[in-house]
Structure formats: C-alpha cells, structure tokens
Structure 1
C-alpha cells in the first residue's frame, strides 16, 4: 500500500486493482485513527479515495460523528394564547422543528404573571402603541400566513377575560397528552385571534379540544384538572421559569447551545436564531412545507 498524495484536498491510497472504490474517508479522521493506533484489517484489493467531508458542526466531538449532522439543540418556547405574537413564533418553530435538528419544548405560560413579575405593562395600555399594534399585527400575520385579526372588544378580551383557564388547560394537556400540544393551542389562537370567539368558558375550551380530535371524555377529564394544585403549580413553575430567563413578555425562545443559554424575545428573532444554531433560514414558511392555515 502506498500513499500517492498527502494533500488533504485529494489523498489517494491505492491497493490492488485500480478502479475499485471501497470507501470514502476523511483525511483528518484517518490521521486521528492512525494517531490512536487503530489497526486497519486486511481487506479485498481496493482503491480508497480520501477526500475531506463537509465542515464538521461545532457540536461534533470526534470523527465518529462525521455525516451524522448536528446534535439536537434544545429550544424552549414560552407562550400564551393571549399573545398573537406568540402564535407567530409558535407556527414558525413548529415548522422548522421538522427541518432543523432541534428538540423543541413547548411551555405554556401566563403572560399576566410575567408582566407582573417584570413590572412591565401591556403595550396596548399605551395609546400610541395600541394603535400601532392594531395595524402592525396584520403584516407579520400575512408574512407568516397566520390569519390574525384583532378582537372587536380588544381590552375586554385582554384585560377582563384573560387566559388563565385556557393556559391551565394547556398545562394539563402538556402533562397528560403532550402529543396534542400543537393542535390544541393553535385552535385556541384561532378562536380568539381569528374568529373573535371566547377561550375562557368551559364549553369554549371543550369545543377547541374536540375540534382537533380529542374525545369528549379526554377533554372533560383535562378540564376538571385545571382546578387541581398539580396543574396550577405546574403553570406557575413554567411561568416562573420564563422569569428566571429574564422574560418581560411573550413569546420567549430560550436556546441551549454549547453550555450557554440565549433568551430571544418576540417572534421576529428567527434569523438571529438561525445564526445561533448555524442553520439555514428559508423564510417564515419554508417552501418544502408551505402550510396555509
């Protein structure tokens, strides 16, 4: 066996008959194997072409991870169905979780609790911001292909009704049927932010759950649990967890990457998120999926 070239761009090891390709190796991986005194067992005559593989992902630790892609990165999305911007961020991340190699954890939280804890106030309480938001939400909604419409009685929906019952119900869903933690909140968002319908009364929550395929018995059972300490405490814990990441509103995306934690506020930070992950941004509605609600 002889090494015809030591150039990393085109290293060829020849053995036996020409033209027979047995394997493709990465030069640096081979060197690592040699350094570790690995033994190449005899094999049939072959020609080995050693050419560099694509650049290793920063998360790769050794040559055995070549061609395996990036390790799953954990993303936590804290959201409340009372927040239309949470809906936008939710839909984008739910699509990209099938494209990027990420572990997306959906965490229902209470925006009222986060605002109180951070001593923040709803933007809609400021007249100029309220007017801006009313017009602003339509454009990003169209951009993400989410049918967002302001409720007619916005302040009554936001300040009087709130979302406590709905978020406790989603917490119960997360605890008992996490596989439905995409469909149920989406239906609640549709009710309040598209159809101007209630999400606080028991029959409204049951209707949303049943519409996405949950049986009446399942939905009723979860609804009964929203008054239990276990569910109440879980929602409180998740809301406080967002506060520990210094959240002052929703949505909040928390990225766990290489031993560091990054908190991104809002639904318009997706390009920054792709930069952190080293992934490719293909717009809010990737062409490979292109769903329309």
Structure 2
C-alpha cells in the first residue's frame, strides 16, 4: 500500500493580507510538493466578529460551488483590488469588476452575484467558517494539512517551513526557483 494522499485545506478571507501570503505560497507549491490544495473561503468575521468582506466572501463561496476552477483567479484579483490598489471589494460593481478582470464573463459573474444571498451560499460559508473553528481557528489564515492519516492545523502565513517539514518536502522560500524563472 502506497502513502496516503496528502491534502491541504486553506481557510482564508480576502480581507486578511496574511491569508493572501499563504494563498500565493501554497498555490506556487501545490505542484512542487504534489499536494491537493483545497481553497476554503471563510468569513473572518465569524471568527473575529468584525469584517467588511461579507459580500466578497459570499461571492467566493458561490463561485466555489458553481465555478471552482475560477476560485484562485478571482480570489487573487479581490486581494489585488483591496490590498494592492486600495479599491473597494464590498460593492456589487466592484466584485463584478474583479471577476471580469480575473477572466469571467460578465454574465457568469452576474449569475454568481445573484446567488450570494441564497440560503445555500450563506449556509456553505457558515459551514466552512465553523469547520475552521472546529480545527481550532482563532484568526485566518489557517492551513490544515492531512498527512499520513493525521491532521495538523497551522495558523498564519509564516508557517511554510513547518508545513514543508510536515510534508517531507523542501522549503525554497516564498518564490521557488521554478517561479523565479517565470517572473
């Protein structure tokens, strides 16, 4: 019997710049470390009781249900808007602009936006946030590693060296050599 599959869950909120750091590093390393990365949009307000990203996080939750292949790009664009360009991510037109810039058609994005207040989306975001709390979250990001039948919860974006150790992999810094060649 071969080694058990290794997977990581990244619980994040786009209002957390530290979540963004973990997001970018784990997206870069998912193929290098041969891991299955599951992106888990969460609501930091459900953990910290204060956030302004409810609409954006509901949009990402609906997106994960309808178009999971777009989740990475739209999440990144929302972070770019709020943390790099100081643009809004709470108003519907801002969310649509981010989705369109990430490569979605306006029709796709509008369809997702129309679902953000549905019970299905609201319940999914609540369930994901509660899952993060069950793992012991007290803020975001948390990364949950499932390795060799064990579960390890790591808080923060500065735990990548420890994560590499848990995975039996080499940590090569936030931008691995293969990425440096492309940048």
Q: What is the TM-score when the length of structure 2 is the normalising length? A: 0.96
Query: Quick check: 2:12–2:40 contact (8 Å CA) kept in 1?
Result: yes
- Aligned-CA RMSD value: 1.3
Residue of structure 2 in register with 1:74 after alignment = 7
Query: Quick check: 1:71–1:101 contact (8 Å CA) kept in 2?
Result: no
Q: Distance in 1 between matches of 2:177 and 2:86?
A: 30
1:97 and 2:11 correspond: no
Residue of structure 1 in register with 2:148 after alignment = 258
Unaligned segments of structure 2, at least 5 residues: none
Query: Quick check: 2:6–2:36 contact (8 Å CA) kept in 1?
Result: yes
Residue of structure 2 in register with 1:187 after alignment = 77
2:124 is matched with which residue: 221, 234, 247?
234
Q: Distance in 1 between matches of 2:110 and 2:134?
A: 33
Structure 1 residue 71: Cα displacement = 5.1
Larger-Rg structure: 1
Unaligned segments of structure 1, at least 5 residues: 1-60, 117-158
Figure out how many residues of one structure are paired with residues of the other and give that number: 182
Structure 1 residue 72: Cα displacement = 3.4
Query: Quick check: 1:72–1:101 contact (8 Å CA) kept in 2?
Result: no
Secondary structure of 1:289's aligned partner: helix
Structure 1 residue 257: Cα displacement = 1.3
Q: Distance in 2 between matches of 1:212 and 1:164?
A: 20
Hey, which of these two has a bigger chunk of helix by percent?
A: 2
Q: Distance in 1 between matches of 2:135 and 2:148?
A: 17
Q: Distance in 1 between matches of 2:66 and 2:88?
A: 24
Residue of structure 2 in register with 1:176 after alignment = 66
Residue of structure 1 in register with 2:138 after alignment = 248
Could you report, residue by residue, the CA deviation over 1:5-53 in whole angstroms, capped at 9, with x for unpaired residues? xxxxxxxxxxxxxxxxxxxxxxxxxxxxxxxxxxxxxxxxxxxxxxxxx
Residue of structure 2 in register with 1:221 after alignment = 111
Secondary structure of 1:75's aligned partner: strand
Q: What is the TM-score when the length of structure 1 is the normalising length? A: 0.60
Q: Distance in 1 between matches of 2:124 and 2:94?
A: 22
Could you report, residue by residue, the CA deviation over 1:91-113 in whole angstroms, capped at 9, with x for unpaired residues? 00000001111110000000010
Could you report, residue by residue, the CA deviation over 1:133-186 in whole angstroms, capped at 9, with x for unpaired residues? xxxxxxxxxxxxxxxxxxxxxxxxxx6x71000000000110000001110010
Q: Which runs of 4+ in 1 moved over 3 A?
A: none
Query: Quick check: 2:52–2:90 contact (8 Å CA) kept in 1?
Result: yes
Secondary structure of 2:177's aligned partner: coil
